[in-house]
Chain A
Amino acid sequence: MNRSFIAFVRKEVTHIVRDPRTMLIALLIPVVQMILFGFAISTELNDVEVVVATPKMTPAIESKVAQMAQNPYITFRGYITTDKVDHCLSSNEALAVVVFSRDYDRNGKFQIVADASNTTTAQTATGYLTNILSESKAAVAPNVRILFNPQLKSSYNFVPGIMGLIFILICAMLTSVSIVREKETGTMEVLLVSPIRPVMIVVAKMIPYFALACIDLVSILLISRYALDVPLSGSMTALFALSFVYIILALALGLFVSTLVESQMAALLISGMVFMMPVIMLSGMMFPIENMPTVLQWVSNIVPARWYIPAMRKIMIEGLGFGYVAKEGLVLTFMAVALVAISVKRFNNRLQ
């Protein structure tokens, strides 16, 4: 049995090594995504174009505008009259317009009009402007401290998200495709007639993908530590333990898909669409779970990434240890055990 198992693992490794494209995808996708999200794509807004509308010029307004224009996140685009505000926004000349009241010198009133055709940028822009313009007026300025990510770098936010995505992609997608391929080509039949036990076929298939996922995990951690300066200050043991559980869960998901479908294309579609979408939409990676309708919040509970990604955030960014991610760890372990059991059972039943 042992000898046949080793022969089988060697065969799986041969398949992957023989197909450099798969290996390249598996090893390069995480690196490319990390670099994309880390350097190129971010939710930060660096260049808010602002126009000022005022019924009359006063020294107070002038100094306020000068102060605003100095801010590195703001690009001041000049003055307009108050009747041009709508036109200015609809023609995309500016993202926001600051309108000063006629009696600004006395009551300090002003209005911010923002183009919310993109809500994210509108919110960020109004946030910036409110801060800059109201600062000195407030009697007591609140002392704001932003913990864990003082510069609000979006890469901190994306690294755990990418990890949640990558493992589903590599483990679930590649395993399901590789199992279904054997069904398609008819080799599965030959394997089932051989003395190797069906469960061993599956385990042997998972080993190389598990190894690939581990290489990805290490390269993601190295990039986040040394290229993106993510603190990684929490317990590394907890990080690896949770990641291993999550990887096993993803592998089981791949096996589960392979019991549902008969073609590689279908396997690819299911793992690509049905699994990736919830990871992106419902895991809290992009959109906060707290803001979702209650029903979606319930649904999000069955998405493994919804537990994995926040746990990774706690460990990597907040620097917490095992105790703080115990709940996530338990949920993930439970899910992994259940999914492995269901998938193996389904796989065996299909053989009858």
Chain B
Amino acid sequence: MERNDVITADNLTKRFGDFTAVDAISFSVRRGEIFGFLGANGAGKSTAMRMLCGLSVPTSGHASVAGCDVARESEKVKRHIGYMSQRFSLYNDMTVRQNIALFAGIYGLSSSQIKERCRELAETLAFEKEFDMPVAVLPLGQQQKLSFAVATIHSPEVVFLDEPTGGVDPLTRRQFWEMIYKAADEGTTVFVTTHYMDEAEYCHRVSIMVDGKIEALGTPGELKAMFNAAGMDEVFRFLARRATRQ
């Protein structure tokens, strides 16, 4: 493993009974990289991601995240990662400030650090006025931005984003990606799944999963050249058509 690799997977496999959800995938992600993890529904993305987050134990193979083995040191892994799920995952009945304080507290930030982070976030998110309102009143786009801010509140080494921009308008998506770029510039590795192929183009490298296996991996430019395609969606459709599952 190279020193600069923050995530490595080596023949990572997950089986549920006879069904092999993730079939011996191997890849590595460098520090500060934005890594797109693509695949059709049911291709095994989520299962792979759950293993990397320490939520699910691999059936065989290994993976390490931020230098910790996901099977043996899952609790340690959790301290170094942030996670944002496809479903909105803040507490609707609590205010913006309470949500920030909760997650900052869970990651062990002190109350003075929490205040400091709140001030910073009020600036970057640009909706300070709403900070003492329940999260439920925010428009979806701002909720998603807040989710991202909360997922990276403890400056994790890796942040996992599971379809973070589902249902969000193109303009907000663009702003969202600016936040992702900023985080990556500051050294956070971003591991993101998405169904939007324009977003795939924003990634430094992407992998495409089909039937539990990684069928292609490279920069968007490389993949387009390899499959002689004009855009990533063409590459994706070409590969996804090979799927035999479902």
Contact = CB atoms under 8 A, between A and B. Distances in A.
Interface of A is mostly: helix
Contact of B107 (A4, A10, A14, A352): A4
Contacts of B107: 4, 194-195
A227 B88 CA distance: 49
B60 to A, nearest CB: 15
B106 A7 contact: yes
A192 to B, nearest CB: 6
16 contacts: A1-B108, A3-B105, A4-B105, A4-B107, A6-B105, A8-B102, A8-B106, A15-B94, A19-B93, A185-B89, A186-B89, A189-B85, A190-B89, A193-B54, A195-B79, A352-B56
A300 to B, nearest CB: 40
Interface string A2-30: 01101110110011001100000000000
A11 B56 contact: no
Contacts of B109: 3
A129 B236 CA distance: 90
Contacts of A6: 105
B95 to A, nearest CB: 9
Given A7-B101, A7-B102, A7-B105, A193 B94 contact: no
A351 interface: yes
Contacts of B83: 189-190, 193-194
B87 interface: yes
A3 B110 contact: yes
Interface of A: 1, 3-4, 6-8, 10-11, 14-15, 18-19, 185-187, 189-197, 351-352
A262 to B, nearest CB: 14
Contacts of A1: 108
Nearest to B114: A7
- 5 residue pairs, one from A and one from B, having the closest CB atoms: A7-B105, A186-B87, A193-B83, A4-B106, A190-B89
B105 A10 contact: yes
